Amino acid sequence: MEFRSHRLENGLEIVAETNGDAHSMGVAFLVRAGSRDESDEVAGVSHFLEHMCFKGTPRRSADDVNREFDEIGAHYNAFTSEECTAYYASVLPEYQEQSVDLLADILRPSLRPDDFDMEKKVILEEIQMYLDQPPFGMDDRIKMLHLGGHPLARSVLGTSGSITDLTPQQMRDYFSSRYSADNVFVAAAGKVDFDALVKQVAARCGDWQPAAPARQISSAVSETRFEVVHRPTATQQYVLSLADAPAAEDADRYAAKLLATIVGDDSGSRMYWELIDPGLAETASLGHYEYLGVGMFYTWLACEPDLVEANLARLHRIFHQADADGITVDELRQAKNKVKARVVLSSERPQSRLFNVGGNWLQRREYRTVADDLKSLDDVTLDDLHAVLRKFPLSRYSTITIGPRQEVRRPG
């Protein structure tokens, strides 16, 4: 495996981890555009724009885009997050150029009003679909509760109202400010011909203009709040909690990952033994999420409505015990073994290496090998975990619960 990178004159960067032994390759265009870059008036525009990029360009109709991706057998898709919109394709190596041609082209969409109106319906259906899945919307709500007005608390999907009101002109303005040469980069992994890749990207994106877009990166001032949302049609009761955690640029993020594994992995963790093994909850897990400037420890639990208070008390105790009594050597060893094996297993697929390479470049403009990640995990000590707990106590958290229960007592 070899890392290669190149910067075009207009600022567009190309990074790749090439692996001659791979059978396939993955390529992605990543745009630094997500809900954290939006305002209330255009809430949901990043995600809507992602859909619109598949609706046709000056060179291709929407049908052409779909058909040509299928003709090269691409496994392709796109997603939008709080800080990134990603367009990607996994293909056989002989289709590298066609996949670059398609991805580069759809990042210059026509944004025709008729397509805009049609796709608006699909987005509104997507919102309706999630509304039938009770915890939906609460991931946005818990971020608002905990992070207040911080840009990371913004919803990726937007609301039915904001999507209905959005105009093509607002989307064009947003597009011009975000999809510029210096705000997009190309990542690739697997059996990549890098020299050809640079030429292929340069030929298609060399005339894209830079726009020097700004992004507000600030840390959040969090609060610890508690809210109950009544959803009488739900069957289960859902709990989401947020606590502060190391951010994407913090060196202690590896310690945070291991801590989350010990406390709340979906198997073998403290939450597993306290809540899942006894059958008290259907799911209970803690994850570490990292963004620029902000990190989150994110707890997710689903259980029978009658059990919610007792389960909230159990979570409360798990958090307090971790803060007060710390972690054991055995727990750390087990978490390292588990997480390191996951790193190796997932590295076998070019597509997961693509997201690793792309994610590291997006957040830190750095490349990390599998060996680098394994070493960083190995180097974490108990003291590091305890330092994270002191700096970001798990017991300082916000909670939201949604389900059939009208009232729920706050724990502690």
Partner 1 sequence: MSSVILSHQLANGMVLVGEPIQSFESAAFSFLLPAGCCHDPSNRAGLAALTSEMMLRGAGPRDSRTWVSDLENLGVERGESVGVAHTTFYGATLRDNLAPALGLFADLIRRPHLPADQLDAGRNACLQELRTIDDEPSHKLMIELRRRRYPDPWGRSSHGEEPSLRATTIEDVRRFYERHYRPGGAILAVAGNFDWRRLVDLVEQLFGDWQPNDIVEPAGTNGRLAGNHIPFQSSQSHVGIAYPTIPYKHPDYFQAWAAVGVLSSGSSSRLFTEVRERRGLCYTVYASLHTQRDRASVLCYAGTTAQRAQETLDVTISELVRLGEGIEQSELDRLKARIKSSLIMQQESTSARSGALARDWYHLGRARSLDEVSVLVDQLSAESINTFLGKNPPRDLLVVTLGPEPLEVPVGIS
267 interacts with partner 1 by CB under 8 A? yes
- What's the CA gap between 246 and 326, in Å, rounded? 17
User: Which C-beta is closer to partner 1: that of 62 or that of 255?
Assistant: 62
Nearest Cα to Cα of residue 355 among 77, 107, 38: 77
- Minimum CB separation of residue 7 from partner 1 in Å reads 30
133 interacts with partner 1 by CB under 8 A? yes
- Residue 217, both tokens: 């990166």
3 interacts with partner 1 by CB under 8 A? no
Q: Which of 198, 281, 354, 388 binds partner 1 (CB under 8 A)?
A: 281
Q: Which span (103-111, 205-213, 270-278, 382-390) binds partner 1, by CB under 8 A?
A: 270-278
DSSP string, 376-398: HHHT--HHHHHHHHHHS-TTSEE
134 interacts with partner 1 by CB under 8 A? yes
Q: Which of 7, 79, 210, 273 binds partner 1 (CB under 8 A)?
A: 273
Q: What is the DSSP letter of 159?
A: -
Taken as a whole, the chain contains a residue count of: 412
69 interacts with partner 1 by CB under 8 A? yes
- Minimum CB separation of residue 278 from partner 1 in Å reads 5
- Minimum CB separation of residue 25 from partner 1 in Å reads 11
- Minimum CB separation of residue 150 from partner 1 in Å reads 29
CA–centroid distance for 53 within its chain: 20
Q: What residue type is 27 in one-letter code?
A: V
Q: Which of 173, 195, 223, 282 binds partner 1 (CB under 8 A)?
A: 282
User: Which C-beta is closer to partner 1: that of 346 or that of 363?
Assistant: 346
Dmax over CA atoms of the chain, in Å, equals: 62
What is the number of H-type helices and E-type strands within the chain?
15, 11
Region of residue 148 (phi > 0: left; psi between -120 and 50: alpha; otherwise: beta): left
* Edge-first strand listing for the sheet containing 397-403: 226-230, 397-403, 237-245, 295-303, 283-290
Residues engaged in binding partner 1 (CB under 8 A): 21-24, 54, 62-63, 66-67, 69-75, 90-92, 118-122, 124-126, 128-129, 131-134, 233-236, 267-268, 273, 276-282, 302-304, 330, 333-334, 337-338, 340-342, 344-345, 348-351
